[in-house]
Structure 1
Amino acid sequence: MVSDFFYPNMGGVESHLYQLSQRLIQRGHKVVIITHAYGNRTGVRYVTNGLKVYYVPLTVIYAQATLPTIYGFFPIFRAVVIRERIDIVHGHGAFSSLCHEAILHGRTMGLKACFTDHSLFGFADASSILTNKLLKFTLSDVDHVICVSHTSKENTVLRAALTPQHVSVIPNAIVASQFKPDPSAADPNHITIIVISRLVYRKGMDLLVAIIPRICAMHPKVRFVVGGDGPKRIDLEQMREKHLLHDRVDLVGSVKHHEVRDVLVQGHIFLNTSLTEAFCIAIVEAACAGLLVVSTKVGGVPEVLPSHMINFAKPEEDDLVIAVSKAINQIRLKEVHPVTFHDEVKQMYSWVNVAERTEKIYESISHMETPPLIERLRRYYGCGVYAGKLFCVVMAVDYLVWMLLEYVFPRSNVEVAQTFPYKRYRKLESLSAVD
């Protein structure tokens, strides 16, 4: 598993990598994660169940994404692949430079590769055009692509000019036992609306800033709890100051994943104001914790929850106020049953199911033939009149770098790492649980 985004950073991609890796380990596979260093967290670390993480010292440029090195990452990546005897490279996140580079280098080394797209992108602005061209380069030579929703699949197929048969949909999931409802934790004298999100433009923070004063004015018994951090936090603080809402808007800051449930159960309604979303795991966690969800109807969100658990709104201020007001009335009329919500979500989303479906993809690509060098060049050449030629040069140089590394640092000189004793670890764990 390769991505710029992993713990201790918090988010949907990070959670996806961790949970999927844990379930694959439980199914008998060896999983290694490669990500960039986070502060002092560098080098090799072991997390739960012997999941091995390589924190590579690379420069972060924006939002935990690393500076592209093209070939600078290759020596480290090759050493890890040989040490850990890797068969499949699975990249996550279109914004991750590590992911794109790992797939390129992995294919050069003859490994199988697949990619999971967790985001939606447009087609018109400059950043989307550049990202889409980079994605087309990476996915031109990949064995399979996974998307987290059908909307995400359609978006990825169009952006990267892929054959739909080579793209599968496997949704995110949650550990339902970590989000058990607790109706007694909510304030009985108020209706509490929870927001847990990165406080950035893409998550619709401008809409949130606009609707909070209006909802507070319309409903005197409503209060907000906003979790998360980001550049838009200052806008929320200014709004709270301007409208004197200090006693009704609580900004709790960044929330660790194991603390999310404790924040959720304080509320009755969960509000998501995202402008674009491929899946939105946060609304699944909220529904599992027994909250009624109000969300903008964007991206893959309509595919996630049944209609009785969620109220939709257009990504507009007036429509969001109407949807939130409707949800407040539903709470007042006691139309929401938290335990029922939890039981339903528990049946709908499971990481075990996600791991089983991912495993089938691994098995299918394991039997595919590795394309020869000329076929890889042909695929890259078809990426555009000018870009295609550039991509061919990048790939050809990557092949030469690999040959140089094989000569200067022979495989026989790379020490093979010992496999973590998963079975023994589980046995000791079970014995300690009995004690």
Structure 2
Amino acid sequence: MLSWEYPPLLVGGLGRHVHALAGALVTAGHEVTVVTRQAPGALSEEYAEGVRVIRAAEDPPSVEVTGGDFLTWATAFNHALTRAALHAVRSAAAHRTRYDVIHAHDWLVAHTAVTLRDHLDVPLVATIHATESGRHQGWLPDAHNRTIDEIERWLCAEADRVIVCSEYMRDEVTRLFGVPVERTEVVRNGVDALRWRARPRAVTAARATYAGPDAQLVSFAGRLVYEKGVQHLLAAVPELRERFPRLRVVIAGDGPYRKELERLAGPAVAFAGFLTGHDLTALMAASDCYVVPSVYEPFGMVALEAAAAGAPVAVSSTGGLAEIVEHGVTGVRFPPGDPAALAGAVAGVLADREHTRAMAWQARLRVRDDYNWPAIAAQTAAVYAGARPPVVTTAALEQLIATASV
């Protein structure tokens, strides 16, 4: 597996996805090597939870990312990643083992993935977690945006199978990149429900930190970029405060849009920074409503994580979110980019506590039953198997030759 992020280096949900999938595949009996980026203080090679992890250090000189243009950095990163991956290949060959499939996660590892595919002569599977066009609502303003779009198109064309996380994303890669439907597979993201069970003491502490005992606590966690829609949540706060004067809103996360969001926020809003582990789980579990206001969301794994933590969820009805949250049953939905509708949905969650508790319980059951990693690992392994060409036995080959001779 190739990924530009992996614990302890996490930027968004992709790293958590790859980590959980790799571990679940190992538990199912597969041998998995993840080649990723070096994190400060992390070992360059180790076995972690049964997964062989190889981390590629960035080459000097360091490449500065400016204006959102990752291309120069990504090119340098792929050189380092390719060398680290070839080291893994040589090591495996020395032990008389070989890799059966390359699994690339998003465009940032595309060049390494295709190089390895050609070097090893094995199938290439690519998971497209999001698209550049989708992140920008179909507008590709600069040259680097258009180049990323082309790299995504190229990766999809080179891959034997393309995995997407929702029917929405299947439609997107088919429409944007012309990927045949029969070459795409929907494998939804998963959640380790036990990992998102918060400790009672931590929940109490989070509640005391962010809201008083009589206050309503609304939260969001994610990368602070435009497409996550936090600006619409902030725009809804005044209306919510009219109904719930003691309302508090916590924004957890960081990103390039943070300063602008802080400018838009009022005194009832706190920015908690990037939270991980028990701190994030505790915030979710302490919340009276967890909001996912995205304008673009291929899947929306964070909504499932919040549900697993026990938080009632309110999500925009866009992308994968519309598929994973059943309105009025496992949460509530509202139109994306509509602060008034967002305020109405959240107010309904805060006002009807009995129905809200029932929805939160149903959501937690749905996560446990439908989004568990063992099942998702099995589906992914089936995609790997389908990507490999059929094995032709000697007997079958002789029969084919005999038939052709006749």
User: 1:344: how far off?
Assistant: 3.1
User: 1:28: how far off?
Assistant: 1.3
Partner amino acid for 2:338? E
Summarize the alignment of residues 221-240 of structure 1 with structure 2, pairs less than 5 Å apart: 221-240=246-265
Aligned length: 361
Could you say which residue in structure 2 is the equivalent of 1:318? 340
SS at structure 2 position matched to 1:298: coil
The equivalent position to 1:206 in structure 2, one of 231, 236, 254, is 231
What do residues 25-48 of structure 1 show as CA deviations (whole Å, max 9, x unaligned)? 11111111111222343621332x
The equivalent position to 2:74 in structure 1, one of 55, 67, 86, is 67
Summarize the alignment of residues 322-361 of structure 1 with structure 2, pairs less than 5 Å apart: 322-331=344-353, 335-337=356-358, 338-361=360-383
The answer to whether the Cα contact below 8 Å between 1:42 and 1:57 also exists between their aligned partners in 2 is no
Could you say which residue in structure 2 is the equivalent of 1:180? 197
Could you say which residue in structure 1 is the equivalent of 2:309? 289
Could you say which residue in structure 1 is the equivalent of 2:217? 192
User: 1:273: how far off?
Assistant: 1.3
SS at structure 2 position matched to 1:295: strand
Q: Tell me whether 1:78 sits opposite 2:78 in the alignment.
A: no
Q: How far apart in 2 are the matches of 1:147 and 1:115? A: 9
Partner amino acid for 2:259? I
User: 1:355: how far off?
Assistant: 0.5
SS at structure 1 position matched to 2:357: coil
Going from structure 1 to structure 2, the CA distance change for 1:363 and 1:258 (only over 3 Å counts) comes to: farther
Partner amino acid for 1:297? S
What do residues 340-381 of structure 1 show as CA deviations (whole Å, max 9, x unaligned)? 432232112110000001111112223358xxxxxxxxxxxx
Could you say which residue in structure 2 is the equivalent of 1:217? 242
Going from structure 1 to structure 2, the CA distance change for 1:335 and 1:298 (only over 3 Å counts) comes to: closer
Q: How far apart in 2 are the matches of 1:213 and 1:109? A: 58
Going from structure 1 to structure 2, the CA distance change for 1:340 and 1:38 (only over 3 Å counts) comes to: same
Could you say which residue in structure 2 is the equivalent of 1:432? none
Question: Which one is further off, 158-167 or 76-85?
Answer: 76-85
Going from structure 1 to structure 2, the CA distance change for 1:150 and 1:268 (only over 3 Å counts) comes to: same
Going from structure 1 to structure 2, the CA distance change for 1:213 and 1:38 (only over 3 Å counts) comes to: farther
User: 1:200: how far off?
Assistant: 1.5
Going from structure 1 to structure 2, the CA distance change for 1:215 and 1:61 (only over 3 Å counts) comes to: farther
SS at structure 1 position matched to 2:283: helix
Could you say which residue in structure 2 is the equivalent of 1:257? 277
The answer to whether the Cα contact below 8 Å between 1:60 and 1:67 also exists between their aligned partners in 2 is no
What do residues 366-407 of structure 1 show as CA deviations (whole Å, max 9, x unaligned)? 3358xxxxxxxxxxxxxxxxxxxxxxxxxxxxxxxxxxxxxx
RMSD: 2.7
Going from structure 1 to structure 2, the CA distance change for 1:64 and 1:256 (only over 3 Å counts) comes to: farther
Percent identity, please.
21
TM-score calculated relative to the size of structure 1: 0.76
User: 1:153: how far off?
Assistant: 0.8
Could you say which residue in structure 2 is the equivalent of 1:118? 129
The answer to whether the Cα contact below 8 Å between 1:277 and 1:298 also exists between their aligned partners in 2 is yes
Q: How far apart in 1 are the matches of 2:280 and 2:306? A: 9
The equivalent position to 1:141 in structure 2, one of 131, 141, 158, is 158
The answer to whether the Cα contact below 8 Å between 1:91 and 1:100 also exists between their aligned partners in 2 is no
Partner amino acid for 1:278? P
The answer to whether the Cα contact below 8 Å between 1:210 and 1:317 also exists between their aligned partners in 2 is yes
SS at structure 2 position matched to 1:265: helix
What do residues 243-287 of structure 1 show as CA deviations (whole Å, max 9, x unaligned)? 4x2xx3332211113432211111110111111010011101112
Q: How far apart in 1 are the matches of 2:102 and 2:46? A: 19
The equivalent position to 1:89 in structure 2, one of 87, 102, 108, is 102
User: 1:288: how far off?
Assistant: 2.0
Q: How far apart in 2 are the matches of 1:367 and 1:10? A: 35
SS at structure 2 position matched to 1:140: helix
The answer to whether the Cα contact below 8 Å between 1:107 and 1:141 also exists between their aligned partners in 2 is no
SS at structure 1 position matched to 2:352: helix
Q: How far apart in 2 are the matches of 1:297 and 1:268? A: 20
Identify which of structures 1 and 2 has the higher relative contact order when contacts are C-alpha pairs closer than 8 Å and 6+ apart: 1
Could you say which residue in structure 1 is the equivalent of 2:399? none
Could you say which residue in structure 1 is the equivalent of 2:401? none
Unpaired runs of 5+ in structure 2?
93-97, 392-406
The answer to whether the Cα contact below 8 Å between 2:102 and 2:116 also exists between their aligned partners in 1 is no
SS at structure 1 position matched to 2:10: coil
Could you say which residue in structure 1 is the equivalent of 2:388? 366
The answer to whether the Cα contact below 8 Å between 2:56 and 2:80 also exists between their aligned partners in 1 is no
TM-score calculated relative to the size of structure 2: 0.81
